[in-house]
Amino acid sequence: AEVRSWIVSETRSAVVDFLHKNTTAAQKLQEKINHNERLRRELNDVKKKAKEVARKVSIKIPHFKDCKYHKGDKKRGDESTIFITEGPSAAGSMVAARDVETQAIFGLKGVPLNVFGKTKAAIYKNEELYNLMTALGIEDSVENLRFNNVVIATDADYDGFHIRNLLMTFFLNYFEELVTSGHVYILETPIFRVRNSRETRYCYSEKERNQAVADLRNPEVTRFKGLGEISPGEFGQFIGEDMRLIKVGVRALAEVPTTLEFYMGKNTPDRRDYIVEHLI
């Protein structure tokens, strides 16, 4: 205790002496302290307001269908999965087809907010992101995640890819550990259905479609424009035992901020050139 008191006293004296001699550094430190305090107060205020609104609306989370078992439960906890999908049609099919014991559904109302460069206060000001965070149970810590698997289930088109990127930006911006710990996946869903009177094949690429057309006699080919066009009866097999998932990983954590800034930040000339160059 005596040593600790001496260390604290000497350190305090040294810091005070340094700041007296270096007024510029002292001013910057004071500005940083004031800035952090303002951010803390702002975050606490928006947290309080968001929670008050949530209590007034309902304990239930809109557009969210929970499951029976969750991460950490001895029974089927490892299977617990939440699907984040776009639009009421897709969510409706998935709700009807899901395993209610282990599969939860969160339906997005529209395109999520791009949170790149925003403080965490943005979550509390955005109803949908706040509801998603609450459904996942990660407001205070990713360790409280309620589901072992977080699956992004969007349409296999440019709008769907855009929503994927926005959700990944949300996770990487505020809940990086959710991704680095291996909980986040992308759901692959079929783009085509090729069938005749005897057989039906679901194809996830043009190559698979071409092969199915070659194999089946007089086939009927249907292109799914979105997840909402897939019936609940069909959807069951795409989120069942044969479900195709792509695990989201991070190759180099240090490069994440730069990558997010390039793709999700301001529309710079470099990004415009990149988009034009890679247009198909």
Domain co-membership, 92 together with 210: no
Domain co-membership, 79 together with 152: yes
Residue 228 lies in a domain: no
Domain co-membership, 166 together with 196: no
Residue 132 lies in a domain: yes
Compute the half-sphere exposure of residue 39: CA atoms within 13 Å on the CB side of its CA.
11
Residue 96 lies in a domain: yes
Q: What is the total count of domains within the chain?
A: 3
Domain co-membership, 145 together with 241: yes
Domain co-membership, 258 together with 133: yes
Burial label, 249 (beta-carbon count in 10 A; 0-12, 13-18, 19+):
exposed
Domain co-membership, 169 together with 210: no
Domain co-membership, 18 together with 141: no
Q: Can you give the pLDDT at residue 1?
A: 63
Domain co-membership, 77 together with 178: yes
CATH of the domain at 267: 3.40.50.670
pLDDT (tens place) for every residue of the chain, 280 residues total: 677 887 878 888 888 888 888 888 888 888 888 888 888 888 888 877 776 565 444 447 889 999 999 999 999 999 999 999 987 888 888 999 999 999 999 999 889 999 999 999 999 999 999 999 999 999 889 999 999 999 999 988 888 889 999 999 999 999 999 999 999 999 998 899 999 999 999 999 999 999 999 999 999 999 988 888 888 888 888 999 889 999 998 887 778 888 888 888 887 787 777 777 766 5
Q: Can you give the pLDDT at residue 122?
A: 92
Helices and strands per DSSP (H, E), number in the chain: 11, 9
Dump pLDDT digits (tens) for 150-191: 999 998 888 888 999 999 999 999 999 999 999 999 999 889
Residue 74 lies in a domain: yes
Q: Can you give the pLDDT at residue 59?
A: 46
Distance CA 233, CA 201 (A): 15
Domain co-membership, 110 together with 211: no
Sign of the torsion angle spanned by Cα atoms 171, 177, 180, 183: negative
Domain co-membership, 185 together with 205: no
Residue 272 lies in a domain: yes
Q: Tokens for 104?
A: 């939860």
Residue span of the structural domain in which 204 resides = 192-223
Residue 139 lies in a domain: yes
Residue 158 lies in a domain: yes
Residue 129 lies in a domain: yes
